[in-house]
Homo-oligomer: A and B are copies of this chain.
Protein backbone atom coordinates (compact mmCIF):
# COMPACT_ATOMS: atom_id res chain seq x y z
CA UNK A 1 0.00 0.00 0.00
CA UNK A 2 1.28 3.40 -0.92
CA UNK A 3 -1.18 6.22 -1.18
CA UNK A 4 1.27 8.91 -2.16
CA UNK A 5 1.51 10.28 -5.65
CA UNK A 6 4.84 9.51 -7.31
CA UNK A 7 7.18 12.40 -7.86
CA UNK A 8 6.20 12.48 -11.53
CA UNK A 9 2.52 12.54 -10.61
CA UNK A 10 3.00 15.35 -8.13
CA UNK A 11 4.87 17.23 -10.81
CA UNK A 12 2.05 16.64 -13.27
CA UNK A 13 -0.45 17.87 -10.70
CA UNK A 14 1.54 21.02 -10.12
CA UNK A 15 2.00 21.52 -13.84
CA UNK A 16 -1.70 21.34 -14.64
CA UNK A 17 -2.53 23.57 -11.68
CA UNK A 18 -0.07 26.19 -12.78
CA UNK A 19 -1.22 25.91 -16.37
CA UNK A 20 -4.87 26.35 -15.42
CA UNK A 21 -4.14 29.24 -13.12
CA UNK A 22 -2.27 31.15 -15.75
CA UNK A 23 -4.59 30.33 -18.64
CA UNK A 24 -7.65 31.22 -16.56
CA UNK A 25 -6.15 34.63 -15.86
CA UNK A 26 -5.90 35.43 -19.55
CA UNK A 27 -9.67 35.39 -19.79
CA UNK A 28 -9.38 33.91 -23.28
CA UNK A 29 -11.37 30.79 -22.52
CA UNK A 30 -14.86 30.38 -21.10
CA UNK A 31 -14.10 29.08 -17.61
CA UNK A 32 -17.31 28.79 -15.66
CA UNK A 33 -17.59 29.24 -11.97
CA UNK A 34 -18.73 25.68 -11.83
CA UNK A 35 -18.30 22.81 -14.21
CA UNK A 36 -21.84 21.55 -14.20
CA UNK A 37 -22.11 22.47 -17.83
CA UNK A 38 -19.49 20.87 -19.98
CA UNK A 39 -18.79 23.99 -22.00
CA UNK A 40 -17.44 23.45 -25.53
CA UNK A 41 -14.23 25.27 -26.35
CA UNK A 42 -12.21 23.64 -29.16
CA UNK A 43 -9.53 26.28 -28.61
CA UNK A 44 -9.12 25.41 -24.95
CA UNK A 45 -9.16 21.69 -25.71
CA UNK A 46 -6.45 22.28 -28.30
CA UNK A 47 -4.29 23.94 -25.66
CA UNK A 48 -4.65 20.81 -23.56
CA UNK A 49 -3.90 18.68 -26.60
CA UNK A 50 -0.64 20.54 -27.14
CA UNK A 51 0.33 19.57 -23.62
CA UNK A 52 -0.46 15.92 -24.31
CA UNK A 53 -3.25 15.98 -21.73
CA UNK A 54 -5.89 14.50 -23.96
CA UNK A 55 -5.62 10.75 -24.24
CA UNK A 56 -2.96 10.69 -21.58
CA UNK A 57 -4.07 7.23 -20.52
CA UNK A 58 -4.26 5.82 -24.05
CA UNK A 59 -1.53 3.44 -25.15
CA UNK A 60 1.42 5.03 -26.92
CA UNK A 61 0.83 2.97 -30.06
CA UNK A 62 -2.39 4.85 -30.55
CA UNK A 63 -0.83 8.23 -29.95
CA UNK A 64 -1.60 8.47 -26.25
CA UNK A 65 0.92 9.11 -23.51
CA UNK A 66 0.71 5.57 -22.23
CA UNK A 67 0.40 6.99 -18.78
CA UNK A 68 -2.11 5.65 -16.27
CA UNK A 69 -5.70 6.38 -15.45
CA UNK A 70 -4.35 7.89 -12.27
CA UNK A 71 -2.61 10.57 -14.30
CA UNK A 72 -5.86 11.15 -16.16
CA UNK A 73 -7.68 11.40 -12.84
CA UNK A 74 -5.19 13.96 -11.51
CA UNK A 75 -5.64 16.10 -14.61
CA UNK A 76 -9.41 15.78 -14.60
CA UNK A 77 -9.70 16.70 -10.94
CA UNK A 78 -7.82 19.91 -11.52
CA UNK A 79 -9.71 20.73 -14.72
CA UNK A 80 -13.09 20.31 -13.06
CA UNK A 81 -12.06 22.14 -9.90
CA UNK A 82 -11.04 25.11 -11.97
CA UNK A 83 -14.25 25.13 -14.02
CA UNK A 84 -12.35 24.67 -17.27
CA UNK A 85 -14.37 24.27 -20.51
CA UNK A 86 -13.67 20.60 -21.15
CA UNK A 87 -16.81 19.72 -23.10
CA UNK A 88 -15.27 19.60 -26.54
CA UNK A 89 -12.84 16.76 -25.87
CA UNK A 90 -14.45 15.26 -22.81
CA UNK A 91 -16.30 12.28 -24.26
CA UNK A 92 -13.54 11.53 -26.74
CA UNK A 93 -11.00 11.32 -23.97
CA UNK A 94 -13.19 9.45 -21.51
CA UNK A 95 -14.89 6.78 -23.53
CA UNK A 96 -15.04 7.22 -27.30
CA UNK A 97 -11.29 6.94 -27.70
CA UNK A 98 -10.93 3.94 -25.37
CA UNK A 99 -13.97 2.42 -27.09
CA UNK A 100 -12.40 2.68 -30.52
CA UNK A 101 -9.06 1.43 -29.21
CA UNK A 102 -10.83 -1.60 -27.69
CA UNK A 103 -13.29 -2.44 -30.41
CA UNK A 104 -12.70 -0.25 -33.46
CA UNK A 105 -11.40 -1.22 -36.89
CA UNK A 106 -8.13 0.12 -38.24
CA UNK A 107 -10.13 2.49 -40.39
CA UNK A 108 -11.84 4.00 -37.37
CA UNK A 109 -8.59 4.21 -35.47
CA UNK A 110 -6.91 6.00 -38.34
CA UNK A 111 -9.89 8.21 -38.93
CA UNK A 112 -10.52 9.38 -35.39
CA UNK A 113 -7.82 8.74 -32.80
CA UNK A 114 -5.36 11.38 -33.91
CA UNK A 115 -8.14 13.91 -34.41
CA UNK A 116 -9.32 13.31 -30.86
CA UNK A 117 -5.82 13.73 -29.52
CA UNK A 118 -5.60 17.02 -31.43
CA UNK A 119 -9.03 18.13 -30.23
CA UNK A 120 -10.33 18.38 -33.77
CA UNK A 121 -13.47 16.34 -33.38
CA UNK A 122 -16.20 16.12 -30.76
CA UNK A 123 -18.77 13.52 -29.83
CA UNK A 124 -22.14 12.93 -28.28
CA UNK A 125 -23.85 9.73 -27.15
CA UNK A 126 -26.91 8.35 -28.88
CA UNK A 127 -28.10 5.73 -26.40
CA UNK A 128 -31.40 6.54 -24.69
CA UNK A 129 -34.75 6.59 -26.42
CA UNK A 130 -38.17 7.77 -25.29
CA UNK A 131 -39.15 4.21 -24.42
CA UNK A 132 -35.70 3.01 -23.47
CA UNK A 133 -34.32 4.92 -20.53
CA UNK A 134 -33.04 2.58 -17.91
CA UNK A 135 -33.90 -0.34 -20.16
CA UNK A 136 -31.49 0.16 -23.05
CA UNK A 137 -32.33 -3.20 -24.52
CA UNK A 138 -35.70 -1.74 -25.45
CA UNK A 139 -34.11 0.58 -28.02
CA UNK A 140 -36.07 0.73 -31.24
CA UNK A 141 -33.95 2.86 -33.55
CA UNK A 142 -33.07 0.63 -36.47
CA UNK A 143 -30.04 0.36 -38.72
CA UNK A 144 -30.96 -1.76 -41.71
CA UNK A 145 -28.20 -3.01 -44.01
CA UNK A 146 -28.42 -1.92 -47.58
CA UNK A 147 -25.32 -2.74 -49.60
CA UNK A 148 -22.37 -0.99 -48.01
CA UNK A 149 -24.61 1.17 -45.88
CA UNK A 150 -26.83 1.20 -42.85
CA UNK A 151 -30.12 3.03 -43.21
CA UNK A 152 -31.06 4.46 -39.86
CA UNK A 153 -34.54 5.34 -38.69
CA UNK A 154 -35.87 6.22 -35.29
CA UNK A 155 -35.33 8.59 -32.42
CA UNK A 156 -32.79 9.11 -29.68
CA UNK A 157 -33.20 11.40 -26.72
CA UNK A 158 -31.37 12.95 -23.74
CA UNK A 159 -28.48 13.56 -26.10
CA UNK A 160 -26.22 15.98 -24.28
CA UNK A 161 -24.52 18.39 -26.66
CA UNK A 162 -26.16 16.66 -29.63
CA UNK A 163 -26.47 20.10 -31.23
CA UNK A 164 -22.77 20.89 -31.06
CA UNK A 165 -20.95 17.58 -31.43
CA UNK A 166 -19.52 16.41 -34.76
CA UNK A 167 -20.21 12.71 -34.34
CA UNK A 168 -22.66 10.60 -32.39
CA UNK A 169 -21.83 7.26 -30.83
CA UNK A 170 -25.00 5.32 -31.43
CA UNK A 171 -26.62 2.13 -30.25
CA UNK A 172 -28.87 0.79 -33.01
CA UNK A 173 -30.94 -2.32 -33.51
CA UNK A 174 -29.42 -4.32 -36.37
CA UNK A 175 -31.12 -7.64 -35.94
CA UNK A 176 -34.83 -8.08 -36.51
CA UNK A 177 -35.08 -11.79 -36.30
CA UNK A 178 -37.37 -12.61 -33.38
CA UNK A 179 -35.13 -15.54 -32.56
CA UNK A 180 -32.18 -13.28 -31.76
CA UNK A 181 -31.81 -12.65 -28.04
CA UNK A 182 -32.34 -8.97 -27.24
CA UNK A 183 -28.76 -8.59 -26.15
CA UNK A 184 -27.43 -9.72 -29.53
CA UNK A 185 -29.68 -7.44 -31.54
CA UNK A 186 -27.69 -4.22 -31.27
CA UNK A 187 -24.65 -2.68 -32.85
CA UNK A 188 -22.67 0.46 -32.24
CA UNK A 189 -22.26 2.88 -35.12
CA UNK A 190 -20.49 6.23 -35.36
CA UNK A 191 -22.69 8.82 -37.02
CA UNK A 192 -21.71 12.11 -38.54
CA UNK A 193 -24.26 14.48 -37.02
CA UNK A 194 -24.35 16.53 -40.23
CA UNK A 195 -25.61 13.60 -42.30
CA UNK A 196 -28.82 14.41 -44.17
CA UNK A 197 -31.94 13.11 -42.46
CA UNK A 198 -30.83 13.95 -38.94
CA UNK A 199 -33.04 16.46 -37.21
CA UNK A 200 -32.09 17.81 -33.80
CA UNK A 201 -34.65 19.29 -31.45
CA UNK A 202 -33.47 21.01 -28.29
CA UNK A 203 -34.79 19.89 -24.91
CA UNK A 204 -34.70 22.56 -22.24
CA UNK A 205 -33.96 21.23 -18.77
CA UNK A 206 -35.52 22.37 -15.51
CA UNK A 207 -32.68 24.79 -14.89
CA UNK A 208 -33.79 26.52 -18.09
CA UNK A 209 -30.71 25.46 -20.02
CA UNK A 210 -30.39 23.72 -23.34
CA UNK A 211 -28.14 20.78 -22.73
CA UNK A 212 -30.19 17.87 -24.00
CA UNK A 213 -31.57 17.15 -27.42
CA UNK A 214 -33.90 14.84 -29.19
CA UNK A 215 -32.33 13.44 -32.32
CA UNK A 216 -34.54 12.10 -35.12
CA UNK A 217 -33.30 9.82 -37.89
CA UNK A 218 -35.14 9.73 -41.18
CA UNK A 219 -33.46 7.30 -43.58
CA UNK A 220 -30.02 8.38 -42.52
CA UNK A 221 -27.39 6.62 -44.63
CA UNK A 222 -24.15 5.66 -42.89
CA UNK A 223 -21.34 3.66 -44.45
CA UNK A 224 -20.67 0.31 -42.82
CA UNK A 225 -17.10 1.24 -42.12
CA UNK A 226 -18.49 3.32 -39.25
CA UNK A 227 -19.66 0.18 -37.49
CA UNK A 228 -17.77 -0.11 -34.21
CA UNK A 229 -16.61 -3.58 -33.35
CA UNK A 230 -18.76 -6.50 -34.28
CA UNK A 231 -22.29 -6.42 -35.51
CA UNK A 232 -24.59 -7.67 -32.76
CA UNK A 233 -22.02 -7.00 -30.07
CA UNK A 234 -23.15 -3.45 -29.33
CA UNK A 235 -24.86 -4.18 -26.09
CA UNK A 236 -21.84 -5.83 -24.53
CA UNK A 237 -19.52 -3.15 -25.86
CA UNK A 238 -21.65 -0.42 -24.37
CA UNK A 239 -21.51 -2.04 -20.95
CA UNK A 240 -17.72 -1.90 -20.94
CA UNK A 241 -17.96 1.64 -22.18
CA UNK A 242 -20.24 2.61 -19.35
CA UNK A 243 -17.70 1.39 -16.83
CA UNK A 244 -15.29 4.02 -18.16
CA UNK A 245 -18.05 6.58 -17.89
CA UNK A 246 -18.78 5.71 -14.29
CA UNK A 247 -15.24 5.21 -13.09
CA UNK A 248 -14.20 8.85 -13.18
CA UNK A 249 -13.97 11.54 -10.59
CA UNK A 250 -16.28 14.01 -12.36
CA UNK A 251 -19.31 13.05 -10.31
CA UNK A 252 -17.55 14.12 -7.17
CA UNK A 253 -15.73 17.20 -8.36
CA UNK A 254 -18.23 18.86 -10.66
CA UNK A 255 -19.78 20.52 -7.61
CA UNK A 256 -16.50 21.41 -5.98
CA UNK A 257 -17.20 25.11 -6.31
CA UNK A 258 -20.56 24.67 -4.55
CA UNK A 259 -18.74 23.16 -1.61
CA UNK A 260 -16.19 25.95 -1.60
CA UNK A 261 -18.94 28.56 -1.77
CA UNK A 262 -20.73 27.00 1.18
CA UNK A 263 -17.60 26.95 3.32
CA UNK A 264 -16.79 30.50 2.41
CA UNK A 265 -20.33 31.59 3.21
CA UNK A 266 -20.40 30.12 6.71
CA UNK A 267 -17.00 31.54 7.54
CA UNK A 268 -17.83 35.04 6.37
CA UNK A 269 -21.45 35.39 7.42
CA UNK A 270 -22.23 36.45 10.94
CA UNK A 271 -25.47 35.95 12.81
CA UNK A 272 -25.83 37.86 16.04
CA UNK A 273 -22.16 38.69 15.81
CA UNK A 274 -20.95 35.09 15.53
CA UNK A 275 -19.86 33.46 12.28
CA UNK A 276 -22.24 30.72 11.16
CA UNK A 277 -19.23 28.41 11.12
CA UNK A 278 -19.30 28.40 14.92
CA UNK A 279 -22.83 26.95 15.12
CA UNK A 280 -22.43 23.31 16.21
CA UNK A 281 -25.33 22.21 14.02
CA UNK A 282 -23.78 23.78 10.92
CA UNK A 283 -20.35 22.48 11.85
CA UNK A 284 -21.66 18.95 12.12
CA UNK A 285 -23.47 19.21 8.79
CA UNK A 286 -20.43 20.52 6.98
CA UNK A 287 -18.10 18.01 8.60
CA UNK A 288 -20.46 15.26 7.47
CA UNK A 289 -20.15 16.54 3.92
CA UNK A 290 -16.39 16.72 4.21
CA UNK A 291 -16.21 13.16 5.52
CA UNK A 292 -18.30 11.92 2.60
CA UNK A 293 -16.29 13.92 0.14
CA UNK A 294 -13.01 12.48 1.40
CA UNK A 295 -14.38 8.95 1.53
CA UNK A 296 -15.73 9.31 -2.00
CA UNK A 297 -12.51 10.78 -3.31
CA UNK A 298 -10.52 7.96 -1.81
CA UNK A 299 -12.86 5.44 -3.39
CA UNK A 300 -12.61 7.00 -6.84
CA UNK A 301 -8.83 6.95 -6.66
CA UNK A 302 -9.06 3.30 -5.70
CA UNK A 303 -11.28 2.56 -8.72
CA UNK A 304 -8.75 4.38 -10.86
CA UNK A 305 -5.96 2.14 -9.63
CA UNK A 306 -8.07 -0.87 -10.62
CA UNK A 307 -8.24 0.46 -14.17
CA UNK A 308 -4.48 0.90 -14.07
CA UNK A 309 -4.16 -2.70 -12.93
CA UNK A 310 -5.96 -3.69 -16.13
CA UNK A 311 -9.19 -4.63 -14.41
CA UNK A 312 -12.71 -3.72 -15.51
CA UNK A 313 -14.11 -2.35 -12.24
CA UNK A 314 -17.75 -2.90 -13.17
CA UNK A 315 -19.36 -2.93 -9.72
CA UNK A 316 -16.70 -0.75 -8.12
CA UNK A 317 -17.31 2.01 -10.65
CA UNK A 318 -21.04 1.71 -9.94
CA UNK A 319 -20.46 2.00 -6.19
CA UNK A 320 -18.25 5.03 -6.71
CA UNK A 321 -20.68 6.73 -9.03
CA UNK A 322 -23.63 6.19 -6.70
CA UNK A 323 -21.72 7.36 -3.69
CA UNK A 324 -20.53 10.52 -5.37
CA UNK A 325 -23.82 11.52 -6.94
CA UNK A 326 -25.63 11.01 -3.65
CA UNK A 327 -23.00 13.21 -2.04
CA UNK A 328 -23.61 15.91 -4.64
CA UNK A 329 -27.35 15.86 -4.03
CA UNK A 330 -26.85 16.24 -0.29
CA UNK A 331 -24.33 19.01 -0.80
CA UNK A 332 -26.59 21.22 -2.86
CA UNK A 333 -29.52 20.63 -0.54
CA UNK A 334 -27.59 21.50 2.59
CA UNK A 335 -25.95 24.46 0.89
CA UNK A 336 -29.29 26.01 -0.05
CA UNK A 337 -30.59 25.46 3.46
CA UNK A 338 -27.62 27.01 5.18
CA UNK A 339 -27.56 29.95 2.80
CA UNK A 340 -31.26 30.42 3.39
CA UNK A 341 -32.92 32.95 1.11
CA UNK A 342 -29.60 33.51 -0.64
CA UNK A 343 -29.76 29.86 -1.59
CA UNK A 344 -32.78 30.65 -3.77
CA UNK A 345 -31.13 33.29 -5.94
CA UNK A 346 -30.16 32.28 -9.45
CA UNK A 347 -27.20 33.32 -11.59
CA UNK A 348 -27.26 36.85 -12.97
CA UNK A 349 -29.74 38.08 -10.40
CA UNK A 350 -29.10 41.17 -8.31
CA UNK A 351 -27.97 40.29 -4.77
CA UNK A 352 -26.67 36.93 -5.98
CA UNK A 353 -23.80 35.35 -4.04
CA UNK A 354 -21.19 33.11 -5.63
CA UNK A 355 -22.72 33.73 -9.06
CA UNK A 356 -25.77 31.69 -8.11
CA UNK A 357 -24.03 28.34 -8.33
CA UNK A 358 -25.67 27.05 -5.17
CA UNK A 359 -29.24 27.53 -6.38
CA UNK A 360 -28.29 26.28 -9.84
CA UNK A 361 -26.62 23.24 -8.38
CA UNK A 362 -29.79 22.43 -6.43
CA UNK A 363 -31.81 22.53 -9.63
CA UNK A 364 -29.26 20.37 -11.40
CA UNK A 365 -29.20 17.86 -8.59
CA UNK A 366 -32.09 15.61 -9.70
CA UNK A 367 -30.01 14.73 -12.76
CA UNK A 368 -26.91 13.64 -10.86
CA UNK A 369 -28.43 10.44 -9.55
CA UNK A 370 -30.02 9.57 -12.89
CA UNK A 371 -27.50 10.17 -15.67
CA UNK A 372 -25.16 7.41 -16.72
CA UNK A 373 -27.30 4.81 -14.95
CA UNK A 374 -29.70 5.71 -12.17
CA UNK A 375 -28.86 4.83 -8.58
CA UNK A 376 -31.36 1.99 -8.80
CA UNK A 377 -29.98 0.52 -12.01
CA UNK A 378 -26.49 0.66 -10.56
CA UNK A 379 -27.65 -1.03 -7.39
CA UNK A 380 -29.00 -3.87 -9.51
CA UNK A 381 -25.55 -4.18 -11.07
CA UNK A 382 -23.76 -4.05 -7.72
CA UNK A 383 -26.10 -6.64 -6.26
CA UNK A 384 -25.40 -9.05 -9.06
CA UNK A 385 -21.75 -8.50 -9.89
CA UNK A 386 -20.37 -7.20 -6.62
CA UNK A 387 -22.38 -8.92 -3.95
CA UNK A 388 -23.26 -11.95 -6.04
CA UNK A 389 -26.72 -12.14 -4.59
CA UNK A 390 -28.83 -14.87 -6.09
CA UNK A 391 -31.67 -13.34 -8.06
CA UNK A 392 -33.75 -16.44 -8.66
Q: With both chains docked as a complex, state the minimum distance between the C-beta of A137 and any C-beta of chain B, in angstroms.
A: 20
Nearest CB in chain B to that of A279: its residue: B280
Give 5 CB contacts A-B under 8 Å. A279-B280, A280-B280, A280-B281, A281-B281, A281-B284
Nearest CB in chain B to that of A285: its residue: B281
By a CB distance below 8 angstroms, the chain B residues around A279 are 280
Q: Which of A263-289 contact B (CB under 8 A)?
A: 279-281, 284
Majority DSSP secondary structure for residues of A touching B: helix
By a CB distance below 8 angstroms, the chain B residues around A280 are 279-281
Name A's B-contacting residues (CB within 8 A).
Answer: 279-281, 284
A281 to B281, CA, bound (A): 5
A281 to B284, CA, bound (A): 8
Nearest CB in chain B to that of A283: its residue: B281
By a CB distance below 8 angstroms, the chain B residues around A284 are 281
Q: With both chains docked as a complex, state the minimum distance between the C-beta of A158 and any C-beta of chain B, in angstroms.
A: 25
A282 to B194, CA, bound (A): 61
Q: Which 5 pairs across A and B sit closest by C-beta, in order of nearness?
A: A280-B281, A280-B280, A281-B281, A281-B284, A279-B280
A279 to B278, CA, bound (A): 12
A279 to B281, CA, bound (A): 9
Q: With both chains docked as a complex, state the minimum distance between the C-beta of A101 and any C-beta of chain B, in angstroms.
A: 44
By a CB distance below 8 angstroms, the chain B residues around A281 are 280-281, 284
